[in-house]
């Protein structure tokens, strides 16, 4: 099977099953996109064949367009291009619905227009599909759908005479389309209300989790080319009283939007500093570094730097062992403020890494201006490094860039010996991923390392 097809199938399975990929909302949204894309393909084929049998080739052309955009949105969804898939779906459906309403379904004395009713459902669907996007995009798409509905509902003009479908087709179609549009609208309003309720309940549970100390840190080791442990990345987990261990993908987005990410992030930093202090008393772990992800909203807080410096003063360990991971998206806006904060913290010894590097947001001029110590190759490139030439080229480029700019480079998401071998052959010296260890509680990390020191074989034969 060609690599591209195999990759598409893997992405389909991840998106459809994906029990760990996010909130129930996100899984439901992905499934709705997959079903919508499949429905566009199915309806394009069925109606295309039906109208072809009637010799109505203009309608067949519209159905072929629907089929084509259904395929495109399906591919984008399987490749996890959420916003692009949404834009394709809504853009194509908006044009096709308006085109059908204007050309094929003009109101007459015997048959009212009905195709435009789908625009109401599309408007509500936009509020759901673009919930996590820029409000201008979310409400812009919704208002476009509703504005088109108002215009088509308020006028009886036949804008383009001569293309209307025969009444024998339009009369039963009016009943079917009105019923279908009404059912769609009811279902989408239900989804919107359910989503609002779920978000409200989850936000209340997050507040309670902070008060009751239900969060904990898990640690994924970072190793060098010989398998020696250099440190770990601290990853937040939520020990829910009824749902068990909850992954961050299931609550981080809401925490970011609600502002709860700020106190959560502060707790993570306090816990990380306490852990580094505890490790500093151990002869082996005293040199370990700990990487902590910092959210955009948290880093932008005016008191972020003073609070972190106060934490460093309260805990006795070398500040160079604390590594703050920033994402490329953080560097897009307010560069001067970010640079000033980074320089202030770097002056006190704190180090910085750029997470998910290679996703296309940062430029070389940006990297030169910031006091970065490390680049982290995005795991999506590592996953495809053996099967996708572009991913392999990007990985080589990042490694070469790190060498040129005197930056350390670490590859995350290393899962197989083959990936590890490729990275080693191309000069990578630091690694993180399931090949070595999953994220585990601190006792599990320390026990794993002690096992290595006792002579138990590690996944890559490394010793501490």
Summary mean pLDDT of the chain: 85
Dump pLDDT digits (tens) for 381-419: 999 999 999 999 999 999 999 998 899 999 999 999 999
Helix ranges, 259-303 (H):
261-279, 296-299
- Report, as an integer, the average pLDDT of 335-361: 87
Q: 258 near 201, Cβ under 8 Å? A: no
Dump pLDDT digits (tens) for 25-56: 566 677 778 878 888 898 889 888 988 988 88
Q: What is the rounded CA–CA span in Å between residue 150 and residue 117?
A: 10
- Report, as an integer, the average pLDDT of 416-429: 95
Report in angstroms the alpha-carbon separations of 448 from 48, 322, 431, 439: 61, 22, 16, 11
What is the percent of the chain where pLDDT is above 90?
A: 47
Strands (E), 225-311: 229-240, 244-246, 289-293
Q: What is the pLDDT of residue 343?
A: 95
Q: What is the pLDDT of residue 28?
A: 63
Q: What is the rounded CA–CA span in Å between residue 217 and residue 173?
A: 58
Q: What is the pLDDT of residue 364?
A: 72
Q: What is the pLDDT of residue 264?
A: 94
Among residues 142, 165, 278, 255, the alpha carbon closest in space to that of 203 is found at: 255
Dump pLDDT digits (tens) for 229-269: 999 999 999 999 988 888 888 888 888 888 899 999 999 99
- Report, as an integer, the average pLDDT of 150-163: 84
- Per-residue confidence band for 190, with pLDDT thresholds at 50, 70 and 90: confident
Range in 60-69, 76-85, 289-298, 384-393 the model is least confident about: 76-85
């Amino acid at each position: 099977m060609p690599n591209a097809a195999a990759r598409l199938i893997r992405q389909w399975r991840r998106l459809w099953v994906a029990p760990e990929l996010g909130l129930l909302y996100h899984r439901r949204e992905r499934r709705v996109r997959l079903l919508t894309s499949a429905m566009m393909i199915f309806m394009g084929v069925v109606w295309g064949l039906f109208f072809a049998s009637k010799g109505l080739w203009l309608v067949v052309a519209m159905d072929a367009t629907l089929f084509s955009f259904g395929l495109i949105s399906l591919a984008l969804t399987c490749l996890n291009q959420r916003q692009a898939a949404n834009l394709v779906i809504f853009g194509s459906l908006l044009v096709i619905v308006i085109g059908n309403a204007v050309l094929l379904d003009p109101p007459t004395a015997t048959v009212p227009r009905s195709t435009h009713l789908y625009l109401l459902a599309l408007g509500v669907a936009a509020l759901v599909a673009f919930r996590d996007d820029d409000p201008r995009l979310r409400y812009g798409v919704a208002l476009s759908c509703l504005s088109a509905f108002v215009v088509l509902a308020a006028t009886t003009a036949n804008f383009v005479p001569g293309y209307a479908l025969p009444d024998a087709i339009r009369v039963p179609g009016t009943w079917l389309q009105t019923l279908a549009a009404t059912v769609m609208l009811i279902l989408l309003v239900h989804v919107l209300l359910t989503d609002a309720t779920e978000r409200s309940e989850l936000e209340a549970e997050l507040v309670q989790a902070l008060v009751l100390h239900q969060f904990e840190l898990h640690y994924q080791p970072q190793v060098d080319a010989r398998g020696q442990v250099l440190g770990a990345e601290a990853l937040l987990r939520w020990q829910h009283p009824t749902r068990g261990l909850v992954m961050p993908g299931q609550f981080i987005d809401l925490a970011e939007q609600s502002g709860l990410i700020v106190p959560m992030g502060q707790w993570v930093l306090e816990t990380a500093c306490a852990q580094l202090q505890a490790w500093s008393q151990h002869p082996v772990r005293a040199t370990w570094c700990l990487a902590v992800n910092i959210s955009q909203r948290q880093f932008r807080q005016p008191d972020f730097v003073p609070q972190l410096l106060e934490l460093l003063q309260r805990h006795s360990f070398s500040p160079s062992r604390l590594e703050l991971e920033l994402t490329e998206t953080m560097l897009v806006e307010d560069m001067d403020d970010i640079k000033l904060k980074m320089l202030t913290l770097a002056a006190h010894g704190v180090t910085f890494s750029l997470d998910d590097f290679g996703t296309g947001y940062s430029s070389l001029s940006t990297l030169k201006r910031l006091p970065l110590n490390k680049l982290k190759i995005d795991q999506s490139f590592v996953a495809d490094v053996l099967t996708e030439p572009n991913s392999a080229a990007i990985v080589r480029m990042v490694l070469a860039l790190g060498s040129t700019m005197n930056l350390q480079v670490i590859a995350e998401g290393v899962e197989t010996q083959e990936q590890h071998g490729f990275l080693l052959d191309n000069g990578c010296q630091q690694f993180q991923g399931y090949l070595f260890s999953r994220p585990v509680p601190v006792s599990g990390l320390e026990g794993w390392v002690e096992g290595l020191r006792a002579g138990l074989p590690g996944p890559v034969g490394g010793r501490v």
